[in-house]
Structure 1
């Protein structure tokens, strides 16, 4: 098992030296590491699945769908597009800079620290790691201490498949994480709560280290009477109770128009029974709460909600921290249940008069990581698109926007900063260097060297004239051509 406790400076230096040596710039190196990570997941599918099931309590099929296959698909996407997404991007030059050329070069940043959470301990550690490798970086990864089986397994497998010169795995809890954050990294990628995100950002500020913070928040769902309540309910139940609600983009609460409220509540109860049976505690397809502390927190939130439990509510801490899929209505907006992210199988349903009231409630809170809208009315959809700000917005389905190639994932404000997945991972974890190539001859810059006689002042005024008139930069007006003519005469010795 690979471990830094305290942090081994020599190993950190070795990780950084590999990047500065230029080896990781080679696309074949990146492909080989991504392929090795892919092989690791597939060759140890059973062991990884069982470790997640033991640590988190989610069903086997959920692990394969939401953790392992997600990672493999992300790696395949990166491999298929690596050359195109990392290629230099040419930038056009203004007339005044010709002759010459310019481009943007994506460079590896160096050593990236990846701190993973416990709710998706494989996906949310290895998917960012895939982006780290695709961008040509090396990594220190820190699995959650709340998933000790997954952490131990990854600490064994990652250095074996990727090489100790590419990745370092740190296991442990708060002391180890604190020690890591005291070191200088070239980027920090953190997934977790806003509270810990602030700690990470403060530590990063000491070294001016850029950060990607994938946090969470109360992701709202809006439903009105224009949709089929049974179809909407099935999708909401699936999105909310996957991984027992322990998903950062799970629907956190529902705002439903009052004309659709009763039908939706009836449909939610029907969907829960269809998915998990009359007694969800006996279902093999319903996950469990990760530990007793989180279980107790959720039970207390329900008991202090100030609302009415219309579905579920039963719980058993001795049954692997079981908490039934629970729906609570008439919850005051200032209740504890509506203050922080629930992160569990508890769904408040709140009646609103219309979409405008729902938008007002959403805008009165911190910006969420996701926002879900169930409405067939075009004007209503446009209202949410134009009047709200969230990390992501999905019409008609929760969760699945994460699995769309080409859609970056990330939060805004309290729900995070930065983007990743697919091309966004490479761009987020690369340094974008601007490169200009300007030949020494002919020396077109002679027009701006001192001294500044009258003819040079005239040339500058000619160049500035279209800017004062508000012309677009892509236009080449006669005044600019006149200025170029003056420069040309200068170079020929006839000012």
Structure 2
């Protein structure tokens, strides 16, 4: 597929106006929903081949979320596309003022490997709802899923509207050389900088969904058993390969031993004595990531887990303690099934640890103390988060999802997805039957009046 010709075709199709009507957008969203339903098993099988993800997780964290997003868009799209009246101003009296959401045009969506269907197609929902054409670049690290997405989408959608570009880094580079009207990237901070630099060549706006070390604070007032189960679920979901997984725990000193006991119990309940035999526990995506994660196991004491099998790319759910503050496991996003547990004495100490690191994508607090909750939420900057839960905030389409600083810029999900892929056009309409001469020269004697109006 020639990227130059592809982008030309998409731009021409967009200029034709075919994608702009609400009826067209809704029809395409309905078709996308039908396609995902019809090929659900194909997606499940492809992801399983790539890293042995169980069907329940694939549906709950990928396919089901896309269905929910499409349903939400179909329900609200007509209202989103209506003119939005805004108040006028005295200096422009009389006038009518409103905004209109218009599509950017041709959109590039670069998806990662960890949720290869959801993170490729969920942004497509917003882009199509807003009236754009789309080029999807799936990750080459999940080749079976990439192939499934390409084959399925090309069967039902013309490439002048929605196209899938498969391949490795060289394909990304060629796509980023093209003049898209919007770029949506999900992946690492390192690659995000490359995308942003390429976008700057054409002043193309971007959304960057990145990652970071998302902290999980557990104070002495928390329900430790419930906290442990929810943390273990969110951390070891997808074998820890989740951008909003709790990256590390900060637990109040006197609660550490009890929390560790409950974490061990939760892992046992979820995956049994040997998680390697569990049908519900995925594998690491490739050998490079496996080797990187194995290096972290040397940086602390393994409280629980630590088993591995390189041939299977298997690392068991692992809890690390006795970690040095400058260890690399505390500097880099882990993105795997390794959970460091550190302690703090007073809540201010936890805040200090968090705020010395780059702003995280997610932030989790387990507490029954309203004062601690408020202090943590007001003192720490982060993309989004939850109190007494982890990860689950992504399931609410009314909550924008996105990062800040090193963890990204821009957001999506629900109405925010529509807004992300739309330019808000501002329009003022004035009448010609009344023309107040005050603004015209000569200005003599008018300055004091403009000061009264605008002061």
Say whether the fold is shared (TM-score over 0.5). Answer: yes
1:259 pairs with one of 254, 264, 280: 254
Q: Do structure 1's residue 347 and structure 2's residue 339 form an aligned pair?
A: yes
For 1:416 and 1:314, the matched residues in 2 are separated by: 33
Deviation at 1:364, TM superposition (A): 0.4
Q: Do structure 1's residue 388 and structure 2's residue 383 form an aligned pair?
A: no
For 1:366 and 1:329, the matched residues in 2 are separated by: 22
What are the residue-to-residue correspondences of 1:449-488 with 2, within 5 Å?
449-454=440-445, 456-464=446-454, 467=455
Spell out, residue by residue over 1:62-100, the C-alpha distance to the aligned partner (whole angstroms, 9 max, x if none): 101111111111111111000112222111111231221
For 2:90 and 2:195, the matched residues in 1 are separated by: 45
Q: Which residue of 2 aligns with 1:113?
A: 108
For 2:452 and 2:199, the matched residues in 1 are separated by: 48
1:413 pairs with one of 393, 397, 405: 405
Q: Which residue of 1 aligns with 2:62?
A: 67
Q: Do structure 1's residue 150 and structure 2's residue 142 form an aligned pair?
A: no
Deviation at 1:164, TM superposition (A): 2.4
1:428 pairs with one of 420, 433, 437: 420
1:248 pairs with one of 243, 250, 258: 243
1:205 pairs with one of 193, 197, 200: 200
Q: Do structure 1's residue 41 and structure 2's residue 36 form an aligned pair?
A: yes
Residues 19 and 108 of structure 1 are in contact (CA less than 8 Å); yes or no, is this contact kept in structure 2? Answer: no
Residues 219 and 371 of structure 1 are in contact (CA less than 8 Å); yes or no, is this contact kept in structure 2? Answer: yes
TM-score, normalised to structure 2's length?
Answer: 0.98
Deviation at 1:427, TM superposition (A): 0.6
The alignment covers a number of residue pairs equal to 455
For 1:463 and 1:132, the matched residues in 2 are separated by: 42
Q: Do structure 1's residue 309 and structure 2's residue 302 form an aligned pair?
A: yes
Residues 112 and 186 of structure 1 are in contact (CA less than 8 Å); yes or no, is this contact kept in structure 2? Answer: yes
What is the DSSP-based 3-state SS (H/G/I as helix, E as strand, rest coil) of the residue aligned with 1:136?
Answer: coil
Deviation at 1:161, TM superposition (A): 1.9
TM-score, normalised to structure 1's length?
Answer: 0.90
What is the DSSP-based 3-state SS (H/G/I as helix, E as strand, rest coil) of the residue aligned with 2:23?
Answer: helix
Residues 157 and 163 of structure 2 are in contact (CA less than 8 Å); yes or no, is this contact kept in structure 1? Answer: no
What are the residue-to-residue correspondences of 1:280-359 with 2, within 5 Å?
280-303=275-298, 305=299, 307-318=300-311, 320-359=312-351
What is the DSSP-based 3-state SS (H/G/I as helix, E as strand, rest coil) of the residue aligned with 1:118?
Answer: coil
Residues 7 and 178 of structure 2 are in contact (CA less than 8 Å); yes or no, is this contact kept in structure 1? Answer: no
2:390 pairs with one of 371, 385, 398: 398
Spell out, residue by residue over 1:368-404, the C-alpha distance to the aligned partner (whole angstroms, 9 max, x if none): 0000000100000001111000001210110110111
Spell out, residue by residue over 1:107-150, the C-alpha distance to the aligned partner (whole angstroms, 9 max, x if none): 11000000000000000010001111000000111000011111
What are the residue-to-residue correspondences of 1:207-246 with 2, within 5 Å?
207-246=202-241
For 1:61 and 1:75, the matched residues in 2 are separated by: 20
What 5-or-longer segments of structure 1 have no aligned partner? Answer: 468-495
Q: Which residue of 2 aligns with 1:373?
A: 365
Residues 36 and 162 of structure 1 are in contact (CA less than 8 Å); yes or no, is this contact kept in structure 2? Answer: no
Q: Which residue of 2 aligns with 1:474?
A: none
Residues 56 and 118 of structure 1 are in contact (CA less than 8 Å); yes or no, is this contact kept in structure 2? Answer: no
Q: Do structure 1's residue 438 and structure 2's residue 433 form an aligned pair?
A: no
Residues 223 and 367 of structure 2 are in contact (CA less than 8 Å); yes or no, is this contact kept in structure 1? Answer: no
Spell out, residue by residue over 1:6-37, the C-alpha distance to the aligned partner (whole angstroms, 9 max, x if none): 42x33211211222222222001100111111
For 2:147 and 2:293, the matched residues in 1 are separated by: 28
The CA RMSD over aligned residues, in Å, is 1.1
Deviation at 1:158, TM superposition (A): 1.1
1:139 pairs with one of 127, 134, 141: 134
For 2:71 and 2:160, the matched residues in 1 are separated by: 23
What 5-or-longer segments of structure 2 have no aligned partner? Answer: none
Deviation at 1:452, TM superposition (A): 2.0
Deviation at 1:458, TM superposition (A): 4.5
Quick one: structure 1 residues 440 and 385, their matched pair in 2 at CA, closer, same or farther if it must change by over 3 Å?
Answer: same
Q: Quick check: which has more Rg, 1 or 2?
A: 1
For 2:393 and 2:370, the matched residues in 1 are separated by: 20
What is the DSSP-based 3-state SS (H/G/I as helix, E as strand, rest coil) of the residue aligned with 1:266?
Answer: helix
For 2:59 and 2:259, the matched residues in 1 are separated by: 31
Per mean C-alpha deviation after superposition, the further-off stretch among 36-45 and 20-29 is: 20-29
